[in-house]
Structure 1
Amino acid sequence: MKSPSLTPDLLRRMDAYWRAANYLAVGQLYLRSNPLLKRPLTLADVKPMLLGHWGTTPGQNFIYVHLNRIIRQHDLDMIYVSGPGHGGPAVVGNTYLEGSYSEIYPEISQDEAGLQKLFLQFSFPGGISSHASPECPGSIHEGGELGYSLSHAFGAVFDNPELVVACVVGDGEAETGPLATAWHSNKFLDPATDGAVLPILHLNGYKIANPTVLARISHEELEQLLRGYGWSPFFVEGNEPAAMHEAMASALDQAVEQIKAIRREAREHGRRERPRWPMIVLRSPKGWTGPQVVDGLPVEGTFRAHQIPIAVSASTPVEHLRQLEAWLKSYRPEELFDAAGRLLPELAALAPVGPRRMGANPHANGGSLLRELRVPDFRDYACTVAEPGVRGIGDTRVLAPFLRDVTALNQSQRNFRVFGPDETISNGLEAVFDVTDRQWNAGTQATDQHLAATGRVLEMLSEHQCEGWLEGYLLTGRHGLFNCYEAFIHIIDSMFNQHAKWLKVTASLPWRRKIASLNYLLASHVWRQDHNGFSHQDPGFIDHVVNKKAGVVRVYLPPDANCLLSVMDHCLRSLHYVNVVIAGKHPAPQWLTMEQAVRHCSEGIGIWSWASNDQEVDAPDLVMACCGDVPTLETLAAVSILREHLPELKIRVVNVVDLMRLQPRAEHPHGLDDTDFDALFTRDRPVIFAFHAYPYLIHRLTYRRTNHDNIHVRGYREEGTVTTPFDMTVLNELDRFHLVISAIDRLPQTGNQGTYLKQQLRDKLVEHRQYINRHGQDLPEVRNWTWQGSIRDRKPS
């Protein structure tokens, strides 16, 4: 179909603009000098190492020039997400042509000198990568790893009612699990309050060396698949430029009209049922407009077009250099740029202006739109702790009313959401549903709960989608929280990697504004899997997180509800970090008053003097350290046993909330200097450290410390099954009895008393095993244990 918007003159100029973008792309891949071919191309003009990808680029350039037209025609607020891997030449070249690139990087000027710098920096030492990297204006999605473009796009449009995200999905990327699932995001979009995503599935037929699945199924099957996902696809197919321009313009005209109609129906007429959103399928040759044949082998339209189609170096045939020159000249640069290297005014006029340019849209630099989150005073939600060890309802259940009111306070701003894979209630946060629903735009039944077309909670049983939605939401200037089971947050390990790297790079770009932190609340943790068993036991996400740059990551393990409130308040207010918070949801002892909790969390680590008895000596005999809620409980229970049976021992209890405090300050900004670390843990006394996760991590964080050889860590050891809560600690030797035995082993001065106490505790472990096997629950003395050591002259029980 022909588009009435596409006049012959406009078609001519758009085709020329596309040729200019393609020329810039080839220049970025190959050239380091002679950017306008004012003299014959020589080997010295070509980079010594040719790195980058051509195959996806001409199709993306084609899409970009057509998006520019509809932005101008309809005054659209639009950003561009480049899903195919290594789409850097397209997004860099197009932002350069529209002027947004040179505004941020004035040295890459819009003239011949700037063109040379643009070409030289691409995939060159000290330059830019071949992805849509953070350095590229207009980018919120690097595409270094495939699969997340569509979920990022949807995250960007939630609560952004005027925004349209044009999301180019590569057909190789479409084979990934996250992308295949992301098509269902349309069941969560509210056309009345959210923006729109326009997916453009780019079928160019090949991955690196293989055909793609969606390009090799029939037209009928592909259309049925996409319609089955709930989309209304428009197909643009072919390789003849003029006809393809006409078809693409027509498809975009219809898609934009459909988006406008859907918005009108929802916003003016109150239509709430889920619409069938438009999308485009662009089938074009891989490496379109590039070399047809190289060394007798077909290139355009084959996998050989994926990366560098023509090898050019001192060791390749001279014909390759001439073929490269012919390829560059096929775009007729003399018709595109003036003698000074500037894009001709009649072509430059095709780009949108100001913030309507996709490279200058403020949504793609979300920190510039960030509004401060409204947060109530977390102290108002405190547990009353008359004395250490009072019973609590579950730490996350105390946190939930705080999150409920954060949600309510930001309803009008529509800039805070809770994300999770069907676990918000399971993780103890059900109070949030007092003020909001789950956003859901599929079918409902009378027995459903908390489902509505608009809501502040987004749940889908895909950690990938929750992570991608939240990242897109944060990257476009909003705030959020991801709650998840601890064991299964590993599903998004690699997505976390990519986001942490994005934060690291953007922190060094002065034009990129800081965004809200990515906050994880991990509940249903390793130590309370009473019925789920071994499959639900894995605290290793912490190990993965601490590999990232110290300026980006933070890990908190609050020991009780008041500490959790203090930590979460800090995390929600913070910017440009990844914060990992691990907390329990089951009833558990509460240790600190709110005033104490605030001090303790502010310091991140400290001596619990009320649990210690070494105040009147120069150094304790033993340091009992703990990090995490269950390790804290078992440590204090162990201390109570030691103080009852070995009252002459001087014991110091150290609790860690901020895990990064264990590292030296030179390695992490939260780290303790050696003097302060030694003051807490001593220089030569045994330290029994009960840790929430794998023991090795504590050794890794403290290996440079003076007293490292005396630090003995107990943590998760890959043991566990369907069992009682206390037995989980016994199986991993984190329980109070094993902790006391470990201490005695390192305290020869306990002598005969210590020997007899060890025997009693071994007997108690046998009794424990027999009891749970007979009764199916823990010993009464474990279930009913309370701390009795807050009064120093009272013997602990």
Structure 2
Amino acid sequence: MADLTDEELSALDAHWRAANYLAAGQIYLLGNPLLTEPLRPEHIKPRLLGHWGTSPGLNLVYTHLNRVIRRRGPDVLCVWGPGHGGPAVLANAWLEGSYTETCPDVTRDAEGMARLFRQFSFPGGVPSHVAPETPGSIHEGGELGYSLAHAYGAAFDNPDLLVACVIGDGEAETGPLAASWHSNKFLDPVHDGAVLPILHLNGYKIANPTVLARLPEHELDRLLHGYGHHPLHVSGDDPAEVHRALAAALDTALDHIADIHRTARAEGIADRPSWPVIVLRTPKGWTGPAEADGLPVEGTWRAHQVPLAGVRENPEHLRQLEAWLRSYRPDELFDADGRPVPRVLACVPDGPRRPGATPHANGGLLLRELPLPPLERHAVRVDAPGAALHEPTRVLGGLLADVMAATADRRDFRLVGPDETASNRLDAVLDVTDKAWQAGVLPVDEHLGRHGRVMEVLSEHLCQGWLEGYLLTGRHGLFSSYEAFVHIVDSMVNQHIKWLRVSRRLPWRRPVASLNYLLTSHVWRQDHNGFSHQDPGFVDHVLNKSPEVVRVYLPPDANTLLCVADHVLRSRDHVNVVVAGKQPCFDWLGLEEARAHCARGAGIWEWAGTEDGRREPDAVLACAGDVPTQEALAAAQLIRRHLPGLAVRVVNVVDLARLMPHEEHPHGMPDHEFDALFTRDRPVVFAYHGYPWLIHRLAYRRAVHPNLHVRGYKESGTTTTPFDMVVRNDLDRYRLVMDVVDRVPGLAVGAARVRQAMADLRTRHHAWIREHGTDLPEVADWRWDAG
């Protein structure tokens, strides 16, 4: 047992009771916050929302973390996995004063307590979950499964930080959380902080028991030992005994962590340690109603949300609620003005040591500018459009290697991805830093190191969670993924976008570095892996979200990729999706041209078109994405050759949001600008990287939309040749020419032979690949020639 004096135990219990009272009050009370008069129905909220069941356990952990912070002085960040226990975290932030510092009208007195209660899950108030409005939080509590990955992301490159992560036993059943236990194989005890998982087993989810809570203790121990942890068990329902046991467990855990850091940092011992984990078993809804309507509540699933649901209408429920709230003896915890008495605050640390005030939970306070190299150092030379080819992501890899080198001492940039850094041609970074790895190393292994800052694990969930935790605590990073499989984190990016959208509206939340995705090995270059690897839909998913947060870029060559990367790595509070190929790609623009083009987001490539500037073009060939750009330019070349009198404008789009009206997205074009670029009434044939209907959705309000025809991926995939992928989806150059012929008024009859020749080439292609297994020579050997 911890060496707690009776006075310390009494103070801890007083703080815990105060937090429990405040948590329950937020769920139920609209008035009479100090119970200075008997409870009446009008004191009760008309809608009872929130989660009581997990709140007593979270309050217990918060109380005891206060104790160890005050006694030992560590920097502690708390990640609350049972994020639906928002009333508990808000209650503790109010008690320690951090809530009043961020929301000055919620004062630490009776009037402020009434506001705290009223605003919870109330129109115009705050959510019932842990959210950006919650001081000290980096973790959106609306969806379960990500707390432990976030905690490790926060600990990476934070050598003096302890991240206490409470994991609910319901959350522990999710796939992302199950994978997150392996994060300790990537935690460097020299340069990283520590994560202390606190597995809170209260036994139930909404309506069912939880798996880990029903395991015998010896079986759970074997599981946690197998994950590389040393479990410390705390269980019971007697408050005094649990207080003493939890205090002892925390002291033991922190002593263990200190020994790990000392042996790694001072003695150079490099063996992977077994990190402590606390297993805390307490009743669900502890200290709440034992039963209601003749049915057990405390310690059952009935305590999960609102234990007494009919308080306004049911006098017995109202009586039970008042007895429950008075059982905490609020008159001992708050003075006549509603302020917490000194005994309640005796364990609370001061200033930024308070969990709700730590700058690590408001990462923009700690963020430094990323030292990006001059782009001239990595730009490729372009003597003429299409004269040479480069692998765009390999060129980008050189820039990222420079960033890794420039941050070697400050350690605030990481590259994450699922086993694909070299495959995605970013392996230049491995000349500067290793891949992080704390497990065994064999002689055949390459680029594995205990202090590396490249993170590879075959779990997109972990990559996403690590990077989110890293960014939200004030650092920078990039997530590189095969395009088709980034969908695995669709739900996680939803939550991060929501977090950023709300944070931008909170003046006390400082901007953080953007979450940057590089999607490569994309749909048009997955011909060898087949249908399973062909899906460009992540862009559609992201562009459905908050326009002030999301951005999507499709650079068509190496230099535009450099310019886009420079931009997104400097940006703040955005989710940036960059889609770029890793295969050899023609270089279209020199660096200065690329800079200007990316700044515009969309523009005319005069050198590619055939319009003379004296009249509107007969048709517009638009493109977005590297392969669609090549096909559009090849089509423009065919038109130049076979239909020399036709005036065709070529428009390339880098920033997809430019297609949207300015009223719907900050990057959107005003109508007059859009009309000048695409015309109001000429046929527009648009070669697009992804699903065609996205372009229609973005541009549906434009005058030219009735004349807009989009070619893109239409879910026709297989294992085939690169060019056959575009043919199968009608995105190829020959089909684009046919589309122009079909849509320019009066052209169909005069150009019938041209159209027929294009169709014949598609037929020839079909026969050729089945005989030779390769693309047509005129396709494989194609080069841009303006003629």
Normalising TM by the smaller chain, what interval? over 0.9
Give the equivalent residue in structure 1 for 2:276.
278
Is 1:570 matched with 2:595? no
Give the equivalent residue in structure 2 for 1:136.
134
Give the Å deviation of 1:82. Answer: 0.6
Give the Å deviation of 1:394. Answer: 1.1
Secondary structure of the structure 2 residue equivalent to 1:347: coil
Give the Å deviation of 1:747. Answer: 2.1
Give the equivalent residue in structure 1 for 2:583.
586
Give the Å deviation of 1:749. Answer: 2.8
Give the equivalent residue in structure 2 for 1:266.
264
Whole-angstrom distance in 2 between the partners of 1:763 and 1:530: 23
Give the equivalent residue in structure 2 for 1:56.
54
> 1:167-214: CA deviations, max 9, x gaps?
000000000000000000000000011000000000000000000000
Check whether the contact 1:48–1:313 (CA below 8 A) recurs between aligned residues.
no
Whole-angstrom distance in 1 between the partners of 2:689 and 2:668: 19
Farther off after superposition, 529-538 or 296-305: 529-538
> 1:506-530: CA deviations, max 9, x gaps?
0000000000000000000000012
Secondary structure of the structure 1 residue equivalent to 2:343: helix
Give the equivalent residue in structure 1 for 2:336.
339
Secondary structure of the structure 1 residue equivalent to 2:57: helix
Give the Å deviation of 1:112. Answer: 0.6
Whole-angstrom distance in 2 between the partners of 1:484 and 1:87: 33
Farther off after superposition, 148-157 or 543-552: 543-552
Is 1:509 matched with 2:501? no
Check whether the contact 2:312–2:318 (CA below 8 A) recurs between aligned residues.
no
Give the Å deviation of 1:350. Answer: 1.4
Whole-angstrom distance in 2 between the partners of 1:64 and 1:695: 51
Whole-angstrom distance in 2 between the partners of 1:208 and 1:539: 36
Q: How does 1:328-407 map to 2 (within 5 A)?
A: 328-407=325-404
Give the Å deviation of 1:16. Answer: 1.1
Give the equivalent residue in structure 1 for 2:475.
478
Distance verdict in 2 for CA 1:616–1:12, change over 3 Å: closer
Give the equivalent residue in structure 2 for 1:777.
774
Give the equivalent residue in structure 1 for 2:493.
496
Secondary structure of the structure 1 residue equivalent to 2:725: helix
If the length of structure 1 is used for normalisation, what is the TM-score?
0.98
Is 1:645 matched with 2:642? yes
Give the equivalent residue in structure 2 for 1:463.
460
Whole-angstrom distance in 2 between the partners of 1:314 and 1:484: 53
Give the Å deviation of 1:413. Answer: 1.1
Check whether the contact 1:646–1:750 (CA below 8 A) recurs between aligned residues.
no
Find 2:100's aligned residue among 99, 102, 109: 102
Check whether the contact 1:483–1:521 (CA below 8 A) recurs between aligned residues.
yes
Give the equivalent residue in structure 1 for 2:40.
42
Whole-angstrom distance in 1 between the partners of 2:376 and 2:306: 60
Secondary structure of the structure 2 residue equivalent to 1:750: coil
Whole-angstrom distance in 2 between the partners of 1:91 and 1:615: 66
Secondary structure of the structure 2 residue equivalent to 1:215: helix
Farther off after superposition, 445-454 or 98-107: 98-107
> 1:626-684: CA deviations, max 9, x gaps?
00000000000001111101100001000000000000111111111101111111111
Find 1:525's aligned residue among 522, 527, 537: 522
Farther off after superposition, 356-365 or 380-389: 380-389
Give the Å deviation of 1:347. Answer: 2.0
> 1:129-186: CA deviations, max 9, x gaps?
1111100100000221000000000000100000001100000000000000000000
Check whether the contact 1:392–1:590 (CA below 8 A) recurs between aligned residues.
yes
Whole-angstrom distance in 1 between the partners of 2:526 and 2:117: 56
Give the Å deviation of 1:313. Answer: 4.1
Check whether the contact 1:391–1:587 (CA below 8 A) recurs between aligned residues.
no
Give the equivalent residue in structure 1 for 2:627.
630
Whole-angstrom distance in 1 between the partners of 2:312 and 2:394: 68
Is 1:3 matched with 2:2? yes
Check whether the contact 1:626–1:691 (CA below 8 A) recurs between aligned residues.
yes
Give the equivalent residue in structure 1 for 2:704.
707
Is 1:421 matched with 2:410? no
Whole-angstrom distance in 2 between the partners of 1:588 and 1:105: 53
Give the equivalent residue in structure 1 for 2:737.
740
Whole-angstrom distance in 1 between the partners of 2:599 and 2:446: 39
Whole-angstrom distance in 1 between the partners of 2:327 and 2:393: 64
Give the equivalent residue in structure 2 for 1:237.
235
Secondary structure of the structure 1 residue equivalent to 2:145: coil
Amino acid at match of 1:154: Y
Give the equivalent residue in structure 2 for 1:123.
121
Give the Å deviation of 1:86. Answer: 0.8
Distance verdict in 2 for CA 1:751–1:61, change over 3 Å: closer
Secondary structure of the structure 1 residue equivalent to 2:506: coil
Give the equivalent residue in structure 1 for 2:716.
719
Secondary structure of the structure 2 residue equivalent to 1:214: helix
Give the equivalent residue in structure 1 for 2:72.
74
Give the equivalent residue in structure 1 for 2:765.
768
Give the equivalent residue in structure 1 for 2:727.
730
Whole-angstrom distance in 2 between the partners of 1:120 and 1:260: 43
Whole-angstrom distance in 1 between the partners of 2:648 and 2:465: 47
Check whether the contact 1:101–1:137 (CA below 8 A) recurs between aligned residues.
yes
Find 2:676's aligned residue among 671, 675, 679: 679
Give the equivalent residue in structure 1 for 2:427.
430
Give the Å deviation of 1:268. Answer: 0.4
Give the equivalent residue in structure 2 for 1:665.
662
Aligned residues: 787
Give the Å deviation of 1:751. Answer: 4.4
Amino acid at match of 1:253: D
Check whether the contact 2:311–2:321 (CA below 8 A) recurs between aligned residues.
no
Whole-angstrom distance in 2 between the partners of 1:616 and 1:310: 75
Please list every run of 5 or more consecutive structure 1 residues that lacks an aligned counterpart in the other structure.
none
Whole-angstrom distance in 1 between the partners of 2:404 and 2:303: 50
Give the Å deviation of 1:66. Answer: 0.7
Amino acid at match of 1:3: A
Check whether the contact 1:487–1:538 (CA below 8 A) recurs between aligned residues.
yes
Check whether the contact 2:690–2:712 (CA below 8 A) recurs between aligned residues.
yes
Give the equivalent residue in structure 2 for 1:542.
539
Give the equivalent residue in structure 1 for 2:175.
177
Please list every run of 5 or more consecutive structure 2 residues that lacks an aligned counterpart in the other structure.
none
Whole-angstrom distance in 2 between the partners of 1:340 and 1:170: 36
Find 1:29's aligned residue among 7, 27, 30: 27
Secondary structure of the structure 2 residue equivalent to 1:586: coil
Give the Å deviation of 1:398. Answer: 1.1
Distance verdict in 2 for CA 1:152–1:736, change over 3 Å: same
Whole-angstrom distance in 2 between the partners of 1:425 and 1:313: 61
Secondary structure of the structure 1 residue equivalent to 2:215: coil
Secondary structure of the structure 1 residue equivalent to 2:62: helix
Whole-angstrom distance in 2 between the partners of 1:633 and 1:119: 60
Check whether the contact 1:16–1:347 (CA below 8 A) recurs between aligned residues.
yes
Check whether the contact 2:552–2:655 (CA below 8 A) recurs between aligned residues.
yes
Give the equivalent residue in structure 1 for 2:689.
692
Check whether the contact 2:742–2:748 (CA below 8 A) recurs between aligned residues.
no
Give the Å deviation of 1:615. Answer: 2.7
Whole-angstrom distance in 2 between the partners of 1:331 and 1:608: 73
Whole-angstrom distance in 1 between the partners of 2:602 and 2:55: 52
Secondary structure of the structure 1 residue equivalent to 2:581: coil
> 1:408-443: CA deviations, max 9, x gaps?
111111000000000111111011111110010001
Find 2:754's aligned residue among 754, 757, 761: 757
Whole-angstrom distance in 2 between the partners of 1:665 and 1:228: 54
Secondary structure of the structure 1 residue equivalent to 2:76: strand
Check whether the contact 2:83–2:139 (CA below 8 A) recurs between aligned residues.
no
